[in-house]
Every structure is written in C-alpha cells, then in structure tokens.
Structure 1
Amino acid sequence: MTDHSAPDGGTEAPTVSCSRCGREWDLDREVSEVPPGGHAIEQFALDHERHTGHYPDDVRPWTVRCRRCPDGERFLAEGPARRWAETHARHTRHTVDVEAPTGDDVVVTADDE
C-alpha cells in the first residue's frame, strides 16, 4: 500500500496492489465514501480477503484463536486483536492465542485462572 502526496500539498488517495490478482487500486472512492476514522484502507484489505481468500500485498493480519471454542478473528492492528483476546478470555475463561504478523505471538488467559 502506498500513500503519495498530491502536487497541491494534499494527500492523494492511497494505492493498494495485489500481485496475486495482478491489479492495483486507487482508493479515492473508498476514502471519500468512508467517514474520517472509518479506516477505508483497512476495510478495503478486509473486503479483498473476504472476496478472494487472500490479502493485498504488504498486509499481514493479527489472528486471534480460542483454544477451547471455534471463536477467532483477524485484525489489521494489534490493539483490536489484543482487546478481542482479552475480552474473550475474561468472559469465557478460555485461553486465547494472539498470532502476530511479526511472529511475536502471545497467549492471553483470564486474570483469575
């Protein structure tokens, strides 16, 4: 993903590429349609994975998986991944694995186990 500066000093819409699809997208429409704070780039990457089964280039998700039940999710940032894991562990008392895209995985357990 890239984020180029526009000639007038503003910011152009980011570009997302996918070598597996052999395509590149300018996200001008997504950025204009999603309100500020709506995470248009992240949403595009998640939608791309849902439709194709893979993420665009340079996108690696954080994956959280419960060890006891089939619950789990993928996130594009550490904060939401950890929050999901901690909330799930606290409410279910299940152990949750947080798989980082960097390989620095962690295990989250309920505080009172």
Structure 2
Amino acid sequence: MTDDASADDDRAVPTVSCERCGREWDLDREIDGLDPGGHAVEQFAIDHERHTGHYPDDVTPWIARCERCPDGERFLAERPARRWARTHARHANHPVRLEAPRGDDDLVAPDGDRDGS
C-alpha cells in the first residue's frame, strides 16, 4: 500500500440524501471523476434535479426570474445567480427578481441598481 492509497482510504466521502426518493448516495465515484474543488455535491444536486424535478435534501437553489418574460434560471450559489440576473436585466432591459434560498428577495433593475425588495 502506498501513501496515496492510504490517503484515499482515509478521505471523507460526502453523502447526499433525498427523502422524496427514499435514497441516500455516497459520492465516492463522483469525487474520483472531478478535479480538486470540483464541487461533487453541487453537481450531484444539479443532476438529481434534472432527472427527478426536485433537489436532494438540504439543497435550495437561488432563483433568478425575469419579471417581464418567461426567462429564468436556478443556481446553487449566489454569485452565478446574481451574474445571470444582471446580464439578463442589462441585455433584455427587464427587471429580474432574485429569490434567495433563505432571506429576502432582491430585484435587479435593468440599469444595474437593486431596489432591495
């Protein structure tokens, strides 16, 4: 056994559960396929939602939703959600409601300002 094998055996493997599906997954294979910092849990949650229509337990997305057209997206982090909202507002000249997983919604105006509501 090499030191590398020992390090792999000792690593913590994240587990994701979904009460709606009645299942739990160890993400050992997902971690093996990603580079360090590859966000295996986030990628699994996105894939799970694409296949089932819902997110696993304890995962609530940021939702960016246009106030004037049917466009919108879901994100697992604030930064890309805010970037999408600013970009859509700027290019489409539409206000975008940014719904946080916990806390207050925010409105991104076409001029780049937020109204804080």
TM-score by length of 2: 0.82
Question: Post-superposition, which runs of at least 4 consecutive aligned residues in structure 1 deviate over 3 A?
Answer: none
SS at match of 2:20: coil
Deviation string 1:6-42 (CA, Å, 9 cap, x unpaired) is xx6x531200011111111000111110223332211
Shift of 1:112: 6.9
Q: What is the TM-score normalised by the length of structure 1?
A: 0.85
SS at match of 1:29: helix
SS at match of 1:70: coil
Aligned counterparts of 2:36 and 2:69: Cα–Cα separation in 1: 35
CA distance in 2, matches of 1:97, 1:47: 24
- How many pairs are equivalent? 107
- Quote the Cα distance in structure 1 between the aligned partners of 2:45 and 2:61: 10
Q: Matches of 1:26 and 1:110 in 2, distance apart? A: 43
Segments of 5+ residues of structure 1 without an aligned counterpart are 1-7
User: What is residue 81 of structure 2 aligned with on the other side?
Assistant: 81
Q: 1:96 to 1:112 in 2, by over 3 A?
A: closer
Structure holding more helix per residue: 2
Which residue number in structure 1 is paired with residue 58 of structure 2? 58
Q: Could you list the runs of 5+ residues in structure 2 that have no partner in the other structure? A: 1-6
Q: Which residue does 1:19 correspond to in 2? A: 19
Q: Equivalents in 1 of 2:37, 2:65: separation in Å?
A: 27
Identity of aligned residues (%): 70
Q: What is residue 37 of structure 2 aligned with on the other side? A: 37
**Contact in 1 for aligned 2:86/2:112 (Cα 8 Å):** no
Distance 2:77 2:11 in 1: 22
2:65–2:97: 8 Å Cα contact kept in structure 1?
yes
1:71 deviation in Å?
A: 1.1
Q: CA RMSD in A?
A: 2.1
Does the alignment pair 1:47 with 2:58?
Answer: no
Q: Distance in 2 between matches of 1:57 and 1:29?
A: 20
Q: Which has the larger radius of gyration?
A: 2
SS of alignment partner, residue 74 of structure 2: strand
